[in-house]
Structure 1
């Protein structure tokens, strides 16, 4: 194995003590000389699904009183509106609910300024259908089925009837258009939507098989109508950048996640990296708490720092700790 892979050269050990023996710290040297390295194991929260394997599920810690709010939303079949500062685990909560209740793969709708309810329900590729129809007729073949050109979005897929509800994460709703919450009212209240392109098919046309937001998934849509039998578990996150209309809030159960205190931070570190690392992180934890007061910090930034420390990296050298625990607000 190369010296870079071991990261134990004299130069490494002499520059801030970050070349921990056998840990491969200095993978990139910045000297322009190509060299072969062995990538070290990634942090648990940066490990992704491998072919043929399920995605890793990290532990999620939540206070009993906050779990009770989640349960209230589940019993009432209402969307859960989760607010709180960055790094409090709003998005991770949806993954935890889907995993713990065995509700299948999480459906995710990441909202931005261009997001619309229409796209989240379904998309119809009229141009693609026209092109394929023309090609099929030129070959003397029958017209392709319309279902190949209809794909349900994450919201539409969550409303497909099934034996158990699906879990839908509507991430960062406050980044969407101001009318987006109101546009969702009918869908959330009725649990139904129609696809006009399918509703206009001739009488007697049977259910149409359409694509879904699931990987290679399909669903049958009868007479252009999708109507859920179990309202999905909908978890909506917001960073509090703007208020939502009262009509929308009335249909939601609200959960405000606070920033974790010192005891909960220790529990989070232990759950992700093991009890043994707690013996070496008091200074990092105190540094995190001090820096969190004047500016926002996310819990995963603390986990990043602890992971590097556990790998033998000297975070006090050359401003590395400042790079890892950088403020999320007020940056120039």
Structure 2
């Protein structure tokens, strides 16, 4: 029997991912041999662990995360800075025990190749030169490329598409900062759930299997014939600040979640998760933050910073603490121009 929802937003880790039903026929993948998912203890980063533990998902976020999981589709998360877009990926990974998040930070120079794998031909050439100066070894029939695996590492996207038994979590952060071609370049990979490593394909006649390093660790995975195909489609979160439009062909392949700045009880719940029960001063700051939010763009972490710092600066008088809080909550976008003449 399948379980809905698999992701509950409760922040309580569980094994519900095992109850995820089979994918739709058009999103079924058969990569093999199956790999066990890495351990659930995260990537060792205290700040990311804190964000995962304290994230508070809205009802809409819970529903659309599950839609992406069930349909095996990427989740495009849009919203203003500080609305929790990237933290959502860490929260899902923690609750469903899917291991460390594979994070791919996008810039204007990022290419699809960067996310799939990195190959360093110069280090291989240097290694070959050192080997040539050493005493002649016994001839090796795999000389057509057996050493290639030592100079190649899978990127976050390439690692996520390995045939894991359960989905890995892949965070493609700030996709709207990419070159115009990257979203379209991603279409085939995310639709087919597979890719080739040409360097390994060429060497496959002599070296049909290669042990390649994966993203984020020194562990290795076996790649057969230079081809990688997923089994469990990765839970893929693409974040966007809404700075550009995406092509319709890209959008129709995604489940889209639009986050807004938290308000009222939700905002207070976030403060409570990070800093404990808000006192009178913290509640005043929450009210001021909400009031200021009507006049320009703010981020939730500005409020958290203000509450934490004014709480730590108890030796300051009330007016000085208010001024400090004001300086920590500037508008992130230009303030509206006055109509006065």
TM-score normalised by length of structure 2: 0.78
Whether 1:326 aligns to 2:330 is yes
Query: How much has 1:77 moved relative to structure 2?
Result: 0.3
User: Number of aligned pairs?
Assistant: 280
Go from structure 1 to structure 2 and tell me whether the alpha carbon gap of 1:202 and 1:260 turns closer, same or farther (over 3 Å shift): closer
CA distance in 1, matches of 2:169, 2:232: 11
Query: How much has 1:293 moved relative to structure 2?
Result: 2.1
Query: How much has 1:205 moved relative to structure 2?
Result: 2.0
Contact 2:310–2:324 (8 Å) recurs in 1: no
Look at both structures and tell me which one has the larger radius of gyration over its CA atoms: 1
Contact 1:73–1:253 (8 Å) recurs in 2: yes
- Unpaired segments ≥5 residues, structure 1: 1-47
Q: Equivalent residue of 1:86, what SS?
A: coil
Match of 1:298 in 2: 299
Query: How much has 1:285 moved relative to structure 2?
Result: 1.2
How is 1:151-166 mapped onto 2 (pairs within 5 angstroms)? Answer: 151-166=153-168
Match of 1:279 in 2: 280
Whether 1:74 aligns to 2:77 is no
Larger mean Cα displacement after TM superposition, 234-243 or 278-287: 278-287
CA distance in 2, matches of 1:179, 1:288: 39
Task: Pick the aligned partner of 1:317 from 304, 313, 320.
Answer: 320
Match of 1:93 in 2: 88
Query: How much has 1:202 moved relative to structure 2?
Result: 5.0
How is 1:1-332 mapped onto 2 (pairs within 5 angstroms)? Answer: 49=45, 55-56=49-50, 57-140=52-135, 145-201=147-203, 203-275=205-277, 277-313=278-314, 314=316, 316-317=319-320, 319-330=323-334
Contact 1:58–1:272 (8 Å) recurs in 2: no
CA distance in 1, matches of 2:80, 2:271: 19
Q: Equivalent residue of 2:164, what SS?
A: coil
Match of 2:21 in 1: none
Contact 1:207–1:220 (8 Å) recurs in 2: yes
CA distance in 2, matches of 1:59, 1:252: 26
Larger mean Cα displacement after TM superposition, 134-143 or 191-200: 134-143
Match of 1:21 in 2: none
Contact 1:151–1:213 (8 Å) recurs in 2: yes
Contact 1:174–1:239 (8 Å) recurs in 2: yes
TM-score normalised by length of structure 1: 0.80
Query: How much has 1:226 moved relative to structure 2?
Result: 0.6
CA distance in 1, matches of 2:221, 2:319: 55
Go from structure 1 to structure 2 and tell me whether the alpha carbon gap of 1:139 and 1:232 turns closer, same or farther (over 3 Å shift): same
CA distance in 1, matches of 2:257, 2:195: 27
Go from structure 1 to structure 2 and tell me whether the alpha carbon gap of 1:106 and 1:141 turns closer, same or farther (over 3 Å shift): farther
CA distance in 2, matches of 1:150, 1:247: 32
**What RMSD in Å do the two structures reach over aligned CA positions?**
1.9
